[in-house]
Amino acid sequence: MDRGDDYAAAGFLGRIGFGARPAVVVVDVVTAYLDPASPLSDDGGRFEKARAAGAELVDVARAHDVPVLFTEVRLGADGVDGGHFRRKVPALAAFEPGSPWAAFPDAPAPLPGEVVVTKQYASAFFGTSLASTLRFLGVDTVLVVGFSTSGCVRATATDALQHGFRPIVVDEACGDRDAQVHEQNLFDLDAKYADVVSLADAVAHLRTSTPTPQTRSSAVIEQDLYDETLKWTSFAPAGADQKAEMAMLRSSADGTSRTVLVRFPEGWKRAMTGHQPAGEEMLVLEGALSMSGHTCRPGALLVVEPRATRSETGTEVETRAVVWFSGAAGGWTEGPSDDAGALGVHELAPGVVRPAGGVLPGSVEVLDGADLTTFPSDVDLCWTTERRWAHVPAGETAPRHDGPVVVRHWA
């Protein structure tokens, strides 16, 4: 009799099943597990594969109005708030002040308005408001993903059960430094405390059983880019010497196109060379950003094609910019690309700035802001002198402001 049959015959391996209202809890997906220099990382790429799977699940959850919550570990300088756990695992120093490893990766990472639970121990429920938050949201099912399978994922899934939630652990979206430890803990969780499901099954459930919300595709969104009420979220790209900030302006339902307002501090620097699958176009409002020897200032557009090799990036003064991303988030790979796209700076002059038909979807042009009416496809508009931005769905009447407007056609 194999192990599964033996456990089933003994009365284990029952099924809990999904409830009516799921949420995704992303447990400690931070650079401490992804940076090879960190003592918590692995040498087999297991954490990176789990990160990518988790990012896929998060994108689907957001597209179907499923709440996504994140956890992070933060310890004081002396580690006393980590108690005997900090003593037992000295590597937890990675989460003390001054460590570069406590930051979220590019994806999955919390968007403005998403809950981030700060914890000191393994379980996301212990000593936190997570259970209360989930109940407030009406959640009955918790899909658990993250790091590590044998530690914080296991503790969180077990506590989810003990708090009355249905715990669903997503196999490929969890990672551990040892493959056998990962498999053994998944088996034990599945036998006693949670349902362990494949990424494909989790994605299929979110897509078929959860109603997709009506998107804002029929509404014009307009934003003052210097509004003091903007909600900023700190982030630290891999290799950056300090955090920057971002405010999400718009994201498509499938997460493949995003408009983000970013703010870099004076002297921000990212010395790492690498590439990512998403394309990126940056419109600088103030300051200047240099990347791979190209400097983008107000009046210019930085165009970074998918997989373009990015070398040293930085700012000398505080810099604010609108960034258009096209393609799935995440996937940063250190080192030069074998299939590198182009990277360059284009001056913003009336007419077409970046034509259609290349590797990036849509096009970019500069028009007179007073002459706008409607567009045949969705567009983003940015009045750099007025410091305003708008998203205008196809066929809707665009707002009008004096002066030139940069038009980002999404198709």
Indicate the residue type of 21. R
Report which of 197, 59, 70 is spatially closest to residue 128, judged by C-alpha positions.
70
Active site residue 382: no
For residue 351, how many C-alpha atoms fall within 13 Å in the half-sphere facing its CB? 3
CB 28 within 8 Å of CB 40: no
How many CB atoms neighbour CB 99 within 10 A? Answer: 16
Residues 6+ apart with CB under 8 A from 246: 112, 232, 233, 235, 260, 261, 262, 263
Helix axes 179-192, 154-162, angle to 10 degrees: 10
Strand order, beta sheet including 221-224: 221-224, 388-392, 379-383, 404-409, 363-368, 351-354
Choose, from 152, 174, 296, 382, the residue flagged as catalytic. 152
Give Cα 13 distance to the centre of its chain.
33
Q: Give one DSSP letter per residue of 152-179, joined into a string.
A: IIHHHHHHHHHTT-EEEEEEEEEE-SSH
CB 199 within 8 Å of CB 367: no
φ/ψ of residue 367, rounded to 5:
-125, 175
CA torsion 53→56→60→63, rounded to 10°? 150
Give Cα 176 distance to the centre of its chain.
20
Catalytic residues: 152
